[in-house]
Structure 1
């Protein structure tokens, strides 16, 4: 059974993945082909020709048309078949299913819910990715785990002194409790304020700050939607300057047991410093690999049902509220009356919140 809402925008790909050839990708357990028309418009079809279900991703793009690589059936951007080389007429109603896309670089978002239900809805925004005053680089990977496991992992971070011990500021042996957890009907945000600490090697190397001096540290994260998580790590210098490193994770279920992660890391310091970018790229790739290994080990051993059936900690407060938001979304999609996230009955999860 899937546990991802369909009436939600998810990232299908990054803008630069749309090239000269069709791109195949499985999204929410649907096989999709992505391509870009001659005028630059991104397009998404179900990845099966209407004739023999041949994968259209094995075809070619010809201007504003996608041509199947089996019999040459040719489709326009609406999904309608407009040409069949072996006969003069196209059978009435011959088309492939097309999906609504919105391109907001660096992401191309897809709506896989019922047609028309996306009206009035917009993908979440991450303004710092493209705004002046920020420098951003990207990475992407897959995780063989349910997408909510990935969300809940990122919303926890109390595991950091165990999983990422060498990457934390010296003297930080355990993550403090949340200073705040803020919940709306659709989002969850938390914040931790750490004691004054010197810098980890990656922090001093990327910022150029003296790593031996103690600084104020702040770590925060947000469940933006089932499709996005954001994390911020702030270092405050003695003069009040804030050095912010962010990770924006676009999370798209591939299937109930696998997830696409599209990451954008942004910073507001040393914007043109290639060495800082290389250091952060290498560092975050190692972090992502460790996170991936932990999640895949847990998923392979117990799956999401085993994961969510364990005893909860105080550090799980944000993750439990995100889980509740998703449950409400799924209930609404199923046509059941749903309790608003902030008005749910008292439960064991509520007793754990700070």
Structure 2
């Protein structure tokens, strides 16, 4: 994932993705483009340029590029040097996300991003944000798939009755995805839940926390409240997760809900709440990354609560092995070590 659609406006956006410096820009026709972020003349960063219709004008010497990356004008001489162009990367805009392909150009058609129908469904209300984490992208994935830390790291946002997260009720594994569900004990509402839903604070509610490792580029999390009459209030977080470098990551969030659809006060409350959650999550990940990095992170003793994250780690390992031309064990079969085993209370489906 390269960006949220709303990030692309009247000026070019420079971003490092998978170690490549890219400039993203939207032309007057509405199409989104991605170039290598360096002018073909003096390698000046094209993110410091201006958009002129469906062309990008370098902010140094005024070299002008069309949407195919070809230089079509140079102010300093009447004829553009033969073959002057910048590398262009394939993009796919599927609101609210912009996807980019940075692999071999001819292979871009063989991969499609995951579908997220609720982010544009009229039965859901959605808003977005984005932030940067100085940690490996798999640390971000594994952090989100754990959530046993919530009663400690996010104590004020979890009901007092829930002093520890229960074990997973199930973990479902496919060749490329991992999904989990845990049912929480009945509890009263905390402030953010009550403010957002408008439900009675003096009543206890059932909750379900679940998540899915969709791909190395995406994680989804669901927090569901259920009333006694069967109404369900669901808040989802769809995280686009893209490495910037080996030790830094972009996170693109779309937060969706199926309640209070047109209530701006609810959006404001959830925006503030999730910003605080992201800030605390980022702080923890960056402390761990600065201290031991991903190698130290994955070298520790594992808990049962890490079972889903370990499955995702294995899937990514298989993907990397296949990409490198090496054989690998199919994910979701036997655990690789005793500490990766699941207890009898945690069945694996697949």
**TM-score bin, normalised by smaller chain:** over 0.9
Q: Which residue does the alignment assign to 2:175?
A: 185
The DSSP-based 3-state class of the residue aligned with 1:35 is: strand
Q: Does the CA-based 8 Å contact 2:4-2:128 persist in structure 1? A: no
Q: Is the 8 A contact 2:221 2:236 kept in 1?
A: yes
Distance 1:153 1:254 in 2: 18
**1:31 alignment partner in structure 2:** 21
| 1:133 correspondence with 2:107 | no
How far is the alpha carbon of 1:348 from its aligned partner?
Answer: 3.0
Shift of 1:344: 5.7
Structure 2 counterpart of 1:149: 139
- Following the alignment from structure 1 to structure 2, what is the Cα–Cα distance between the partners of residues 337 and 265? 38
SS in 1 for 2:176: coil
1:98 to 53, 72, 88: 88
The aligned counterpart of 1:257 is 247
**TM-score, length basis structure 2:** 0.95
Three-state SS of the structure 2 residue aligned to 1:217 is: strand
Query: Structure 2 CA distance, aligned partners of 1:145 and 1:162?
Result: 21
Q: Distance in 1 between matches of 2:321 and 2:334?
A: 13
The whole-number CA distance in structure 2 between the counterparts of 1:124 and 1:179 is 25
Q: Please tell me whether the aligned partners of residues 58 and 64 of structure 2 are also in contact (alpha carbons under 8 angstroms).
A: yes
For structure 1, list consecutive stretches of 5 or more residues without a partner in the other structure. 1-10
Alignment of 1:281-300 (within 5 A): 281-300=271-290
Greater CA deviation, 45-54 or 119-128? 119-128
Look up the match of 2:320: 330
Distance 1:285 1:88 in 2: 51
Tell me whether 1:58 sits opposite 2:21 in the alignment: no
Determine helix, strand or coil for the equivalent of 1:329.
helix
- Deviation by residue 1:199-246 (Cα, 9 ceiling, x = unmatched): 222112211111221211100011111111110011111111111011
TM-fit CA distance, 1:345: 6.1
Per-residue CA deviation, residues 281-305 of structure 1 (Å, 9 max, x unaligned), is 1111111111111111111111111
Instruction: Evaluate the alpha carbon distance shift between residue 63 and residue 69 of structure 1 in structure 2; reply closer, same or farther with a 3 A threshold.
Output: same
Q: Retained in 2: the 8 A contact 1:75–1:82?
A: yes
For structure 2, the residue ranges without an aligned partner over 5 or more in a row are none
1:85 corresponds, among 48, 67, 75, to 75
Tell me whether 92-101 or 330-339 shows the greater mean CA deviation.
330-339
Distance 2:40 2:268 in 1: 46
Tell me the equivalent position of 1:215: 205
Q: Distance in 1 between matches of 2:43 and 2:75?
A: 17
Distance in structure 1 (CA, Å) of the matches to 2:68 and 2:334: 43
1:226–1:286: structure 2 CA closer, same or farther, 3 Å change rule?
A: same
- 2:38 aligned partner: 48
Cα separation, 2, equivalents of 1:60 and 1:196: 55
Corresponding residue to 2:110 among 120, 126, 142: 120
Asked if 2 retains the 8 angstrom alpha-carbon contact of 1:155 and 1:318, the reply is: yes
Cα drift, residue 127 of structure 1 = 1.1
1:110 and 2:100 aligned: yes
- State the shift of 1:328 in Å: 1.2
Is the counterpart of residue 274 in structure 1 residue 264 in structure 2?
A: yes
Q: Could you list the per-position Cα deviations for residues 256-286 of structure 1 after superposition, in whole angstroms to 9, with x for gaps in the alignment?
A: 1111111111111111222222221111111
Shift of 1:349: 4.7
Matched-pair contact (CA < 8 Å) for 1:170–1:199: no
User: Any idea what SS the aligned residue of 1:150 has?
Assistant: helix
Alpha-carbon contact 2:14-2:23 (below 8 Å) kept: yes
Report the alpha carbon displacement of residue 152 of structure 1 after superposing the two structures with TM.
0.4
Contact 1:230 1:246 in 2 (8 A): yes
> Matched residue pairs, number?
344
Report deviation, 1:170: 2.5
Determine if contact 2:304/2:342 at 8 Å carries over to the other structure. yes
- Partners of 2:59 and 2:71 in 1: CA distance: 14
Distance in 2, Cα, partners of 1:32 & 1:347: 40
1:317 Cα deviation after fit: 0.6
